[in-house]
């Protein structure tokens, strides 16, 4: 309620209408049309060149490089031996405890290197027919007059017992023994061959292997071989011809102890003395 003395407020609608009528109208924006190009500009602009599709150059298919280098007879004068993979498997024969002088000098293709007498040779299987082949490293007549391809082949055939028909023997052993047949199947069917080593070399490796681990045996045998004639270096390893008994007899017990032989230093020196006396007595008896 309003007091009789108060003036009532003006109505709301007339005020809104008055304010709306007082607002000036918004000015409309005029858009000018684009100017036409000049005739002189049109005459100086060259017409667009016709689109010519350029042929794409032919791409030759890139074959991935061969992961494994194939070993052939033409590479580095490799010479075959009369032994197949069934007759001799390098992983089952060389690094399995018969000898500790072979070194794996390549993984692909698999290659083992050692000194067989005066011959520094590498052995590997040919990938085409799995034949065993050897590479003679010291075939220079000037530096190694006692080493040749023919002499190395004869020495390897004797060292590897090439005259023994191992594949036929494995067939006979497999038929006669069930346990052997099971082991042979796990080993791939054959190829574990007994080596025919030099007696002196084999004897001293046996002395180093008594009550010992593989790593230490290899170190001790490698130390003894270092007293022999140096034949060459292959794959980062320096190879020596295994020394004679006369050369080993000049090695003192103290040298062997410092090389880690322990009590074997005494037995090695005693064996050298006994062998020397036996050799000399045999020679004198023959005279």
pLDDT tens for residues 218-263?
999 999 999 999 999 999 999 999 999 888 888 888 888 888 888 8
3-state DSSP of 68-105: CCCCCCCHHHCEECCCCCCCCCHHHHCCCCCCCCCEEE
Residues pairing with 122 in the sheet: 113, 135
Q: How far is CA 142 from CA 136, 145, 146, 179, 235, in A?
A: 15, 6, 10, 52, 23
Question: Which pLDDT belongs to residue 24?
Answer: 54
Rounded Cα gap, residues 227 and 248, in angstroms = 7
Q: Which residues pair with 240 in a beta bridge?
A: 230
Q: For the chain, how big is the Rg over CA atoms in Å? A: 46
Q: What single string gives the DSSP state of each residue in 257-270? A: HHTT-TTHHHHHHH
CA dihedral 39, 44, 45, 49 (to 10 degrees): 130
For 175-212, the pLDDT digits (tens) are 999 999 999 888 877 889 999 999 889 989 998 888 88
Q: For the segment 43-77, what is each residue's pLDDT rounded down to a tens digit?
A: 444 554 544 455 544 444 443 333 334 444 445 78
pLDDT on residue 3: 52
The more confidently predicted of residues 28 and 229 is 229
Contact 154, 121 (CB under 8 A): no
pLDDT tens by residue, 108-159 = 889 999 999 999 999 999 877 789 999 999 877 666 666 789 999 999 999 9
Domains within the chain, CATH numbers bracketed: 75-186 (3.30.310.40), 199-286 (1.10.340.30)
């Amino acid at each position: 309620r309003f007091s009789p003395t108060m003036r009532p407020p003006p109505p709301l609608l007339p005020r809104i209408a008055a304010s709306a009528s007082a607002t000036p109208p918004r000015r409309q924006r005029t858009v000018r049309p684009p100017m036409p190009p000049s005739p002189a500009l049109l005459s100086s602009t060259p017409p667009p060149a016709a689109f010519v599709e350029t042929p794409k150059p032919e791409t030759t298919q890139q074959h991935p490089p061969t992961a494994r280098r194939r070993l052939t007879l033409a590479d580095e004068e490799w010479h075959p031996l009369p032994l197949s993979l069934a007759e001799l498997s390098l992983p089952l024969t060389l690094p399995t405890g018969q000898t500790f002088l072979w070194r794996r000098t390549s993984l692909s293709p698999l290659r083992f290197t050692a000194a067989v007498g005066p011959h520094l040779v590498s052995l590997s299987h040919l990938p085409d027919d799995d034949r065993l082949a050897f590479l003679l490293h010291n075939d220079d007549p000037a530096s190694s007059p006692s080493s040749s391809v023919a002499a190395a082949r004869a020495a390897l055939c004797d060292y590897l017992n090439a005259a023994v028909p191992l594949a036929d023997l494995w067939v006979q052993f497999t038929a006669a023994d069930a346990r052997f047949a099971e082991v042979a199947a796990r080993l791939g069917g054959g190829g574990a061959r007994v080596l025919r080593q030099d007696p002196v070399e084999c004897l001293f490796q046996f002395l180093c292997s008594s009550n010992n681990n593989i790593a230490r045996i290899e170190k001790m045998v490698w130390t003894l071989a270092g007293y022999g004639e140096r034949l060459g270096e292959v794959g980062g390893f320096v190879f020596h011809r295994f020394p004679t008994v006369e050369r080993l007899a000049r090695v003192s017990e103290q040298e062997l102890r410092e090389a880690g032989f322990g009590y074997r230093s005494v037995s090695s020196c005693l064996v050298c003395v006994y062998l020397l006396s036996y050799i000399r007595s045999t020679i004198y008896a023959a005279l």
